[in-house]
A and B are shown apart, each in its own frame.
Chain A
C-alpha cells in the first residue's frame, strides 16, 4: 500500500500547489487588472459575493494575508468560486458544469483511442525491428509532433469540412437542435466531435508510439522472452502476453504524466472548432477578462488531470505486483 499512499500524497500536494499558485498570482502581478473586473460588479451582486471575489483575486487589503488565504481555501473547497462576468449572473461553478462534460468526453475519448492505438503500433514496430512500420512511424510522428495542435485543427477543418463538406463546421451539436436523449442527437455529437477528436489523436499518438517502441525494444531483449521463444510459443502470444504486458507499464506512467500536455493542446483544438468545452470557455474568459472564471478553470483542468493521473496510478498498482510489494 506504500505506493498508493505516496501517490495520494502527490495528488494532494499538487492540488494544493495549484490552489496556492492561484492565490499568489494575482498578488504578485504588478497592476492587478482584476480590479477593473470587480468594478463592473459593484451594485449588481451581494456584498458577500464581492467579498469572495476580492479574496480570490487579491483585491482585499483589509485582512492579513494568512486570513485571506484560509478564506480562499475554504471558499474553493466548498465550491464557492464566485460569479462569472462573461456569463453574468451565472455562477462560475455553473458555467464550468456546462462545459465539463464536453471536454471530458472529447479529451477522454480521443486520449484513450490515441493511447490504445499508439501502444499497439509501437508494439508492432518494435516487434519487427527495422520493418516497414519501424521505418515509417518514428520519423513521421516526430515531424507531426512539431505541428501546433490548433493549426492542424485548422487544416483538418479546411480540408474535411470547408472543402469536402464531410463534417459540420464546429460546435458540439447542430445549433438548431437542443440537448436531448435521442439517436439523432447522438449522431450529431459524433459528427461534430469527430474532427476535434481526430486532431487530438493525430497529434498525440506519436508520443505513445515512440515510448512504447523504445520500452518494447528493451523488453524484447529480456531472458524470459528468449525463454518463451525457445519453448516455441506462438509469436502473437510472446508479443502480447510476455513482452507487451511488461513494456506497457512505463508507458502507463508516461501516459499519466503527459496528460497535462494533451489537455493543453485540446484546449486550443476546442477553440479552433468552437467546441463548447472548458477550453472554449477559457478563451471567452480571457477575452472578457473574467479572472475568477479563468482561475477556476485552471483549477478544474488541473483537478481533472490529477484525477486521471491517480486513476493511472491505481491501474499500475493493480497491474504491477512490484509496486504493491514495495511496502
Chain B
C-alpha cells in the first residue's frame, strides 16, 4: 500500500486542454455513448419541458378549491384531488417549475463556492490550504439538516431565497474537497509551471489554465450539488420550513402529510410528488455517475501530504 500512495500521486498524464470547445466536444461524445447519461438527460429535458409548458399542460388552476375532496383517479382528474379539492395533477405539473429551478440555482451557487474554496486551497497551498481545508472538513462533518432547520426557522417565511441560501451554505463542502484533490494533482504539471514562468498572475492561472482542465469534474460536482438541492429542498419543505403557499413537490408532500393522506386513503397524493422528486434526483445522480466514470482516470485520489 505504501508504494501505491506514491504511484497514485502521479496523475494520469492526459494532455492538458487548451480550448474549452475541445473539452465540451469530448464530454458530449462520451455522454452520448453512456446509457445512464442518456436517461438522465432525457429525464431532465422532460421536466424542463413540463415546467416551461405548465400553463398548457395543467388542466386546472393548481390553487383553486374547485372540486370534491379526495376524489380517486378519473378521466377528469388523472391523479384525483386533495383534501382541499385541488386537482393533484395540475399541482404536480406547476410544481415542476420551482423544484427544477431550486435545484439548478442552488446547485450552481454551491458549485461556485466549491470551486472558489477548493481550487484556491490547492493552488495557494501552505497556510491557506490548511485553513480552507479545515473549513471544508468542518462543514462536511457538521450534520446539515439540523443546521438547515435552525437557519430556516430563524429566517422565518423567507420563501425560496432563504431555501436556496440554506442549501448553498450546507451543500458546497463535498465538491470543494474533490476539487481540491484534483487541483492538487494538477499543481505541478508543466503547463502551469510554464504559465508561472511567464509571470502570469495567480488569478489568471487559476481561471484560464487550471479550470479548463477540471471542467468535467466541475460539471459532476454541479450535478451532485443539484441532487443534494433536490433532496434538501424536499426535506425542508416537507417539514414545513418552506413557504406553504409555494407550489413545489416538497410542499405538496407537506400538505399531504399534514392532512394524513396515507391514512385518509389517498396515497397518490403522497406517491406522485415523491416519484417526481425521485426521478429528478435520479436524473442528476445518473448523469453525475456518468461524469464520474468519464473523469475517473485523471481523478485518482491524491493523498494529502502528511505534515
Contacts and interface: CB of A to CB of B under 8 A. Distances in A.
Contacts of B126: none
Interface stretch (B16-24, B63-71, B142-150): B142-150
B137 interface: yes
Contact of B285 (A17, A142, A283): A142
Nearest to A146: B281
Interface in B259-307: 262-263, 267, 270-271, 274, 277-278, 280-286, 289, 301, 306-307
Nearest to A299: B146
B141 A146 contact: no
A33 to B, nearest CB: 5
A276 to B, nearest CB: 17
Given A29-B154, A148-B235, A264-B143, A154 B138 contact: no
B140 A257 contact: yes
Nearest to B157: A33
Interface in A15-51: 17-18, 21-22, 25-26, 29, 32-34
A138 B286 CA distance: 10
Interface residues of B, number: 53
Nearest to A249: B1
Nearest to B238: A150
B270 to A, nearest CB: 5
A115 to B, nearest CB: 17
B51 to A, nearest CB: 18
A149 B137 CA distance: 24
Contacts of B234: 148, 150-151
A10 B146 contact: no
B179 to A, nearest CB: 16
B263 A162 contact: yes
Interface stretch (A82-90, A171-179, A229-237, A289-297): A289-297
Interface in B117-165: 134, 137-138, 140-147, 149-151, 153-156
A43 to B, nearest CB: 25
Interface residues of A, number: 64
B203 to A, nearest CB: 28
B85 interface: no
Contact of A295 (B4, B150, B235): B150
A18 B142 contact: yes
A305 B143 contact: yes
A26 B280 CA distance: 34
A142 B282 contact: yes
Nearest to A250: B301
A26 B142 contact: no
Given A25-B151, A33-B156, A146 B285 contact: yes
B79 interface: no
B93 to A, nearest CB: 19
Nearest to B262: A158
B150 A10 contact: no
A146 B279 CA distance: 8
A326 interface: yes
A246 interface: yes
B138 A14 contact: yes
Contacts of B154: 25-26, 29, 32-34, 291
Given A18-B142, A150-B238, A298-B147, A162 B262 contact: yes
Given A10-B134, A146-B227, A154-B262, A294 B153 contact: yes
A155 to B, nearest CB: 7
29 contacts: A14-B137, A17-B142, A29-B154, A138-B289, A139-B36, A142-B289, A143-B286, A145-B285, A146-B281, A147-B277, A148-B281, A150-B253, A151-B253, A151-B270, A151-B274, A158-B270, A223-B3, A260-B144, A264-B145, A267-B145, A268-B235, A271-B239, A283-B239, A286-B241, A289-B153, A298-B149, A302-B142, A305-B143, A326-B306
Q: Shortest 5 CB-CB distances between A and B: which pairs? A: A146-B281, A264-B145, A151-B274, A260-B143, A29-B154
Interface of A: 6, 10, 13-14, 17-18, 21-22, 25-26, 29, 32-34, 138-139, 142-143, 145-151, 154-155, 157-158, 162, 218, 222-223, 246, 250, 256-257, 259-261, 263-265, 267-268, 271-272, 282-283, 286-287, 289, 291, 294-295, 297-298, 301-302, 305-306, 309, 322, 326
Given A264-B144, A298-B149, 18 more contacts: A10-B134, A21-B147, A26-B154, A146-B227, A146-B282, A147-B281, A151-B274, A218-B4, A246-B1, A264-B145, A265-B145, A268-B238, A272-B257, A286-B241, A294-B149, A295-B150, A298-B150, A301-B143
Interface of B: 1-4, 36, 134, 137-138, 140-147, 149-151, 153-156, 227, 230-231, 234-235, 238-241, 253, 257, 262-263, 267, 270-271, 274, 277-278, 280-286, 289, 301, 306-307
